[in-house]
Amino acid sequence: MSTKPITMALAGNPNAGKTTLFNELTGARQHVGNYPGITVDHKEGYFTHNNREITITDLPGTYSLTAYSVEEVVARDFLTSQKPDVVINIVDASNLERNLYLTTQFLEMGVPLIIALNMMDVAEDRGIEVRFKKLADLLDVTVVPIVARSGQGTDELIRQAIKVADSDKKWHSRDISYGEDLDEVLMDSITIIKESSFLSEEYHARFTAIKYLEHDDQMLSKGQEENPTLARKLEQTVGVISDHLHKTMDAYPEAIIADHRYGFIKAIIRQGVMTHKFDTDRLYTSDKIDKVLTNRLIGPVLMLAILFGLYQFTFSWSELPVAWMGNLFSWLGSMVEATLPDGLVKSMIVSGVIDGVGGVLGFVPLIMFMFFGISVLEDSGYLARVAFMMDRIFHFFGLHGSSVMPFIVSGGIAGGCAVPGVMATRTLRSPKERMATLLTVPFMNCGAKVPVLVLLIGAFFSDHKALYMFLFTMLAWLVALVTAKFLRMTILRGESTPFVMELPPYRFPTLRGLLIHTWERTWQYIKKAGTVILGISILLWAMMTFPGLPQSEQDTFNTARSNITNSFPDAVQQELTSFNKDTAELSEKAAELKDKLQVIDQEESGLTLQNSIAGKIGIFFEPISRYAGFDWKTNIAMLGGIAAKEVIISTLGTVYSMGDVDADDASSLGERLINDPHWNSVVAVSALIFIMFYAPCFVTVVCIAKEASWKWAFFSMAFNTFFAFLASVAVFQIGSFLG
Amino acid sequence: MTLKDLNKKCSCFAQRIQNCTKGERCNKHHGPLSKNCQAGKVKICKLTGDRRHCARMAALGVLPGAEAELICPQTGSQCLLKIHGGTLSLDQGTSDNIIVQSV
């Protein structure tokens, strides 16, 4: 028995159960990456069967092998370039006719094939009986019935797949008749192709000829590259019949080819492969549910309720684990604080490394819950319906129905996070619509912006807090959609992708599948966001720390501290030194000393910040930022907000000489802002608008760079900041003019 | 806007509503799928529009002569079409280009 490792490819229509089978076979032994240059997932998994090492690739779901979409190009290129030992074609037994369309193209391509007839249980429930042996005989391909969800039949499938991989059978392109006219042209083209061995390393001659007839863009350009003269000759040959068919039948060859393929499938099915126990016209449960869930009036209401439920689930259930993670990093910080001696290294580890990386990892539980919720909606089939219902509104703004989820995840209902939102744009296939979505989701009010909004609204509009929160949430939606429209009309101009999507029937998701999907995406987040964060955290820390105060000024503060400390009796000094806040309370005198020392510390940290690189940048920008009503202190806070929006509060606290201010305990800072002569309600609205719309936090920027490119990440920072500044200037100037 | 214009607009809107609520008006519909107001069986007569898009629709089985079932007509916008055992969701641009006849 051979022990040679085997390569397998899983291919089939979307929602046929490829990923379920892939997860069933490989479990956690899988690797998710990208195909080069595109965001289509490349999933590879490993397992052994009777000591045979097997590498299996889960190809993207496709309906055909003609280059109509990026998935189809990826699947076809993989099969021709990697030449797997066997292709497992997953066919949905409850939707045989549609699924066999792709099978016919595998047969034409002449790849070593085995059919996994999946969802036999669903077919049985629908009263569909599939005679798989008959199908195997008629197609001359091994057919194995399976139920991927339960693992039923998968062992036999792999056994048979290994048999196909090991066999010496020569796979040829299968002949399907496309009618007299087309067959004649096909034969002529095949002769030309064979004579010159045109593209013969990758494709069978018949397959190449069919793709030329189908006007396959990728095949045409490949032909032009390999042999321009021959390619032109072939194009002319198929061009004649194409024009003739268009004139006489008002149809192109590809439509006639598709018609004949469906005819071929029908002819096979009618030979007793499939029988229906019930009326074939009956609507299945899934269709009945759709009549309600996608109803024009009830549908959107139910959708809002379900999405709100997802939002509630994510944020309420993740609250505790997020707090645990926060506590873990606080504990780690205090451990380092207590262990290391005072100095730059300690400051860098605590403020730069632990706070920066901890800030990112602190989101992990939230991300996990969010992705779990999305996986439930996705695996149950509801997400496709949401996209369908939202397409009409989003289409108007140049986006796609599938853009809705990234918007909601990013804070469409205030409190999301732009990082998973940016990552959720992967579900979009059109590059321009995806880019427009990716660049506008950071406008949503994420969970990090909410404390800042609460602080400023609470301070300056305390009588109408809820109303202002609602208005600012609506404003975020409006700005995001209008900006998307603007981008689609300018730099991302292009035709909208037609919304054509096959809706999968409603299914109960499997726990195993949900957990694998959740972990896959969460791990991507940890890996991607976590690698660059460390460097940027340290950079921001350095900008707010260096060059520090000159020695003479440090000495002045130290002298002031000594003078104040010495003005108190030794007993009070001793009490403050040995004070433990968990076990005792300070005496009145000791508390007074502590407050006085704190005032000096705050003054020193404020002055250090003013003297730091960040402070100097803040002062540098003041002449411009004045137009929006911001002084240099606010500028530093905004600069810090690029790290994470919550940092705006702590930075404002520091610059207003209050020391560190906790994001959740911002009331005292609010009072300080009200009393500051530079702040008023107009400045507050201007600042709110700037904070909502300026450059995304650096975790989001890194994600945009990873999902698109650094060029787009920088564009996002520059464009958003420019737009936010213009809006803030307009608000401040008009507000000031009106008084 | 004059009262006459307003009246014209209103009656046009009312007519649209009537068309979509009165099933019998949609019987024997022949025209774009997007204009079909009643759920039920349709026969695809022709595909119009961009060649590439037509080819993609053909691969999904939306071909002249094929029979399909309109599940959720949204009148003038999107719709759900059951064809070859699967359910396709189509936007207005696509359903405008599918000429059907009620069966």
On the question of pLDDT at A533 being above 90, the answer is no
**Confidence at A421, pLDDT banded by 50, 70, 90:** confident
Identify the domain boundary among A515, A530, A561.
Answer: A515
A501 touches B at CB < 8 Å? yes
- The CATH number of residue A78's host domain is 3.40.50.300
Terminal Cα distance for chain A, rounded:
89
Provide the pairing of β-strand A113-118 with A86-92: parallel
B87 touches A at CB < 8 Å? yes
pLDDT in tens, A534-547: 776 777 778 888 88
Kindly state whether residue A536 falls inside one of the protein's structural domains.
Answer: no
What local confidence, expressed as pLDDT, does residue A360 receive? 65
Kindly state whether residue A531 falls inside one of the protein's structural domains.
Answer: no
What local confidence, expressed as pLDDT, does residue A487 receive? 94
Q: How many structural domains is chain A composed of?
A: 4
Q: Is omega for the bond preceding A547 within 30 degrees of 0, making it cis?
A: yes
H/E segment holding residue A569: none
Give the best residue of A250, A503, A506, A507 to mutate against chain B (max B CB count within 10 A): A503
How far apart, in whole angstroms, are the C-alpha atoms of residue A565 and residue A140?
A: 94
Non-local (6+) Cβ contacts of A415 within 8 A are A311, A315, A445, A446, A447, A450
H/E segment holding residue A144: strand A142-145
A561 and A434, same structural domain?
Answer: no
Kindly state whether residue A538 falls inside one of the protein's structural domains.
Answer: no
Please, how many CA atoms are within 13 Å of residue A405, restricted to the half-sphere of its CB? 24
pLDDT in tens, A270-308: 998 988 877 655 567 788 888 888 887 888 889 888 877
B16 touches A at CB < 8 Å? no
What local confidence, expressed as pLDDT, does residue B3 receive? 47
Kindly state whether residue A353 falls inside one of the protein's structural domains.
Answer: yes
A393 and A249, same structural domain?
Answer: no
Q: Which residue from B minimizes the CA distance to A386? A: B89
- Average pLDDT (A557-569) is 90
Backbone angles phi, psi at A199, to 5 degrees: 55, 25
Backbone angles phi, psi at A88, to 5 degrees: -95, 110
A705 and A617, same structural domain?
Answer: yes
A238 and A152, same structural domain?
Answer: no
Of B41, B46, B78, the CB nearest to A392: B78
What local confidence, expressed as pLDDT, does residue A30 receive? 62
A251 interaction partners in chain B (CB closer than 8 Å): 64
Instruction: Find out whether A686 and A732 touch, Cβ atoms under 8 Å.
Output: yes
pLDDT in tens, A42-69: 788 999 998 899 999 999 888 899 887 7
A87 and A222, same structural domain?
Answer: no
A688 and A604, same structural domain?
Answer: yes
On the question of pLDDT at B10 being above 80, the answer is no
pLDDT in tens, A150-169: 889 999 999 999 999 999 88
On the question of pLDDT at A268 being above 60, the answer is yes
Kindly state whether residue A175 falls inside one of the protein's structural domains.
Answer: no
Range of the structural domain that residue A649 is part of: 549-576+586-738
- Average pLDDT (B1-12) is 50
pLDDT in tens, A192-242: 898 888 888 888 899 999 999 999 888 999 999 988 999 999 999 889 989
Non-local (6+) Cβ contacts of A468 within 8 A are A457, A461
A346 and A455, same structural domain?
Answer: yes
Kindly state whether residue A281 falls inside one of the protein's structural domains.
Answer: no
Of A66, A283, A500, the CB nearest to B88: A500
Kindly state whether residue A186 falls inside one of the protein's structural domains.
Answer: yes
* Residue A197, both tokens: 């061995």
- The CATH number of residue A228's host domain is 1.10.287
> What is the percent of chain A with per-residue pLDDT over 70, rounded to a whole number?
91
Domains of chain B in sequence order: 27-102 (2.30.30.90)
Identify the domain boundary among A276, A306, A328.
Answer: A276
A207 and A158, same structural domain?
Answer: no
Partners of A114 in the beta sheet?
Answer: A88, A142
On the question of pLDDT at A575 being above 50, the answer is yes
pLDDT in tens, A701-717: 988 998 889 999 999 99
A673 and A572, same structural domain?
Answer: yes
Would you say how long chain B is, in residues? 103
Of A69, A296, A502, the CB nearest to B86: A502
A117 and A241, same structural domain?
Answer: no
Kindly state whether residue A401 falls inside one of the protein's structural domains.
Answer: yes
A204 and A131, same structural domain?
Answer: no
Identify the domain boundary among A120, A137, A166.
Answer: A166
On the question of pLDDT at A492 being above 70, the answer is yes
Instruction: Find out whether A453 and A688 touch, Cβ atoms under 8 Å.
Output: yes
- Average pLDDT (A585-602) is 85
pLDDT in tens, B48-89: 888 888 888 988 889 888 889 887 665 556 788 888 878 888
How far apart, in whole angstroms, are the C-alpha atoms of residue A522 and residue A469?
A: 30
A496 and A376, same structural domain?
Answer: yes
